[in-house]
């Protein structure tokens, strides 16, 4: 019988091949540090997450990139987002203000229509889904992808997932299943799929994602472990209140609270499905979030929001539960980054760590399941040429552009220490420059999305669009603004500086909505 060796701090731990854990990785979207009850929210919105926290190890210095796509690319590959240009989102290549930062211009088709340049996680990258699939795991992505929405090789089933359900792009309307715009086109596109076929389905997206996860879990057999990546769209905009919302529909905070409570209910539903199947004991569960929130008060006690590399933009809640391997209700303060799950999952699954591409991932098994200190002392969030400021964490210090903070002594990032630590600033800037030099050239991105405004994402899916889908999308587009004043767009402009563009409930938080009846 094949034996898997896990070297923990307390010695050698062995698992037979049949005892390899299932891996359930749940990622919420845009949830702030202060929003769940286990981090101090007194409004009792997250009883299921709070119970999970009581049963789990909590990582108090778990970090991600500061927006959706970079974090997802880093998680799946174990590599910093800048290495595969995932620090730039696919939709950025249809937005002139973003293209300008790259020295590019808006593309046009042969007949002169403005369109976006195709950008996605390269198919040459090795994903954790591919690594675990090769090791005999069933692999499933349920929810948000956000690493390419057009060519088959860049979609989930072209990147190692055997099952796919959900949406490809950035922020779906929870009811109509559309993305509000396809920059530079300013009208909605349908984006709801199962196994990369358009799916007609009624219901609230967060509920549907949990239902699918529970269904897939119920169908698993004991002879094959599974890796399930559940990427909720909640609590990302648009601000769509869940069914049976009783609050004030004109109060954004009431809607946000309801969306969070609904997310919590659905996390509870998925965890219950593990128990009903008898899989709790041998399932490694990780719950975390992709980046900071859109409102700074939801980051408390930290500063900043998503789209910034302040602590509030990159420090995320993280719970780890594996019965008999993690200590319930415990906390660890060692530095961890979202790339580290790549090597950790490969280790616990007995998968191969051999690959050509360099990773930025540490196997955290000795930390999570033993008493070893974190081997990580550095995080590179962004480099020159990224959308956001070049930022590096080194030990207790973090350099953001020209600003230096001591995170251990000043977690609220109030005191800039750059002027009194010029040698350290110089050293960290040199390290960032070295990292940036390792990035391969972007090129001129010659592949274009054609047509510029598809009915549905997925090049193959858009070649034979069902009539129901055309009717639904046409009805929604008829309700959208038919023109925009010069210089205005339905999307935010590219961020500038340390504070970037803090979203406050407009633009990308407004969905296309359902068609009028």
Residues (pLDDT < 50) of the chain are 1-14, 501, 504-505, 514-517
- Local structure of 496: helix, strand or coil: coil
User: What is the pLDDT at residue 496?
Assistant: 78
Q: What is the pLDDT of residues 323-367, one digit of tens each?
A: 999 999 999 999 999 999 999 999 999 999 999 999 999 999 999
78-115 b/e (C-beta count within 10 Å ≥ 16 → b): bbbbbbbbbbbbbbbbbbeebbebbebebbeeeeeeeb
| DSSP alpha helix (H) spans, 362-441 | 365-368, 422-437
User: What is the pLDDT at residue 18?
Assistant: 64
DSSP conformational letter for 117: B
User: Is residue 289 within 8 Å of residue 28, measured between CB atoms?
Assistant: yes
| Cα–Cα nearest to 284, from 313, 258, 318, 261 | 318
Q: What is the pLDDT of residues 148-205, one digit of tens each?
A: 999 999 999 999 999 999 999 999 999 999 999 999 999 999 999 999 999 999 999 9
What ranges make up the beta strands (E) of 174-272? 178-179, 189-190, 193-194, 197-198, 226-231
Q: Which residues contact 97 (CB under 8 A, 6 or more apart)?
A: 493, 494
User: Is residue 164 within 8 Å of residue 144, measured between CB atoms?
Assistant: no
Structure tokens at 442: 């972007």
| Cα–Cα distances in angstroms (integers) from residue 56 to residues 30, 165, 289, 325, in the given order | 22, 27, 16, 10
| Cα–Cα nearest to 335, from 393, 417, 399, 409 | 393
Tokens 């300008």: give the residue. 100
- pTM, two decimal places: 0.95
Through-space distance between the first and last CA atoms of the chain, rounded to whole angstroms: 62
Q: Which residues contact 287 (CB under 8 A, 6 or more apart)?
A: 26, 27, 28, 49, 52, 56, 267, 317, 318, 319
Q: Which residues contact 394 (CB under 8 A, 6 or more apart)?
A: 377, 378, 428, 431
DSSP conformational letter for 220: -
User: Is residue 181 within 8 Å of residue 477, measured between CB atoms?
Assistant: no
* Beta pairing partners, 182: 185
Q: Which domains does the chain have, with CATH numbers?
A: 21-383+439-483 (3.40.720.10)
| Cα–Cα distances in angstroms (integers) from residue 461 to residues 155, 170, 454, in the given order | 12, 18, 10
- Residue 82's H or E segment, with its range, is none
User: What is the pLDDT at residue 498?
Assistant: 75
β-bridge pairing 178-179 and 189-190: antiparallel
Structure tokens at 502: 């803090």
- Local structure of 477: helix, strand or coil: helix
Structure tokens at 175: 């009811």
């Amino acid at each position: 019988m094949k034996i898997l060796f896990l070297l923990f701090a307390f010695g050698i731990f062995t698992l037979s091949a049949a005892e390899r854990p299932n891996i359930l990785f749940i990622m919420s979207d845009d949830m702030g540090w202060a929003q769940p009850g286990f981090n101090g929210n007194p409004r009792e919105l997250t009883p299921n997450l709070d119970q999970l926290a009581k049963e789990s190890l909590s990582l108090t210095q778990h970090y991600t990139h500061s927006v959706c796509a970079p974090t997802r690319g880093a998680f799946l590959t174990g590599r910093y987002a800048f290495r595969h240009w995932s620090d730039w989102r696919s939709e950025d290549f249809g937005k002139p203000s973003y293209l300008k930062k790259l020295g590019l211009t808006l593309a046009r088709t042969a007949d002169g229509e403005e369109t976006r340049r195709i950008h996605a996680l390269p198919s040459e990258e090795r994903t954790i889904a591919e690594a675990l699939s090769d090791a005999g795991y069933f692999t499933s992505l349920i929810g948000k992808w956000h690493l390419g929405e057009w060519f088959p090789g860049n979609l989930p089933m072209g990147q190692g997932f055997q099952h796919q359900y959900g949406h490809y792009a950035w922020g779906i309307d929870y009811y109509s299943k559309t993305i509000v715009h396809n920059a530079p086109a300013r009208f909605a596109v349908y984006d709801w799929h199962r196994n990369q076929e358009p799916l007609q389905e009624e219901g609230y997206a967060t509920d549907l994602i949990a239902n699918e996860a529970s269904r897939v879990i119920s169908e698993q057999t004991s002879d094959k472990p599974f890796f399930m990546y559940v990427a909720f769209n909640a609590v990302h905009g648009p601000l769509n209140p869940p069914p049976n919302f009783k609050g004030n529909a004109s109060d954004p905070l009431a809607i946000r609270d309801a969306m969070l409570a609904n997310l919590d209910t659905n996390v509870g539903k998925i965890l219950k499905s593990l128990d009903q199947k008898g899989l709790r004991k041998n399932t490694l569960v990780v719950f975390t979030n992709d980046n900071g929130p859109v409102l700074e008060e939801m980051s408390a006690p930290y500063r900043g929001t998503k789209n910034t590399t302040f602590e509030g933009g990159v420090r995320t809640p993280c719970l780890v539960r594996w019965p008999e391997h993690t200590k319930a209700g415990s906390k660890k303060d060692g530095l961890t980054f979202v790339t580290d799950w790549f090597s950790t999952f490969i280790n616990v699954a007995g998968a191969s760590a051999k690959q050509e591409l360099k990773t930025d991932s540490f196997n955290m098994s000795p930390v999570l399941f033993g008493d070893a200190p974190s081997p990580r002392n550095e995080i590179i969030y962004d480099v020159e040429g990224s959308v956001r400021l070049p930022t590096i964490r080194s030990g207790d210090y973090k350099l953001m552009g020209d600003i230096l903070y001591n995170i251990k002594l000043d977690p609220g990032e109030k005191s800039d220490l750059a002027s009194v630590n010029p040698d350290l600033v110089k050293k960290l800037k040199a390290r960032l420059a070295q990292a940036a030099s390792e990035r391969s050239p972007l090129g001129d991105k010659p592949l274009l999305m054609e047509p510029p405004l598809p009915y549905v994402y997925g090049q193959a899916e858009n070649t034979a669009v069902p009539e129901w889908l055309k009717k639904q999308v046409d009805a929604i587009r008829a309700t959208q603004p038919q023109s925009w004043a010069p210089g205005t767009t339905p999307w935010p402009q590219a961020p500038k500086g340390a504070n970037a563009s803090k979203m406050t409930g407009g633009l990308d938080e407004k969905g296309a909505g359902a068609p009028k009846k």
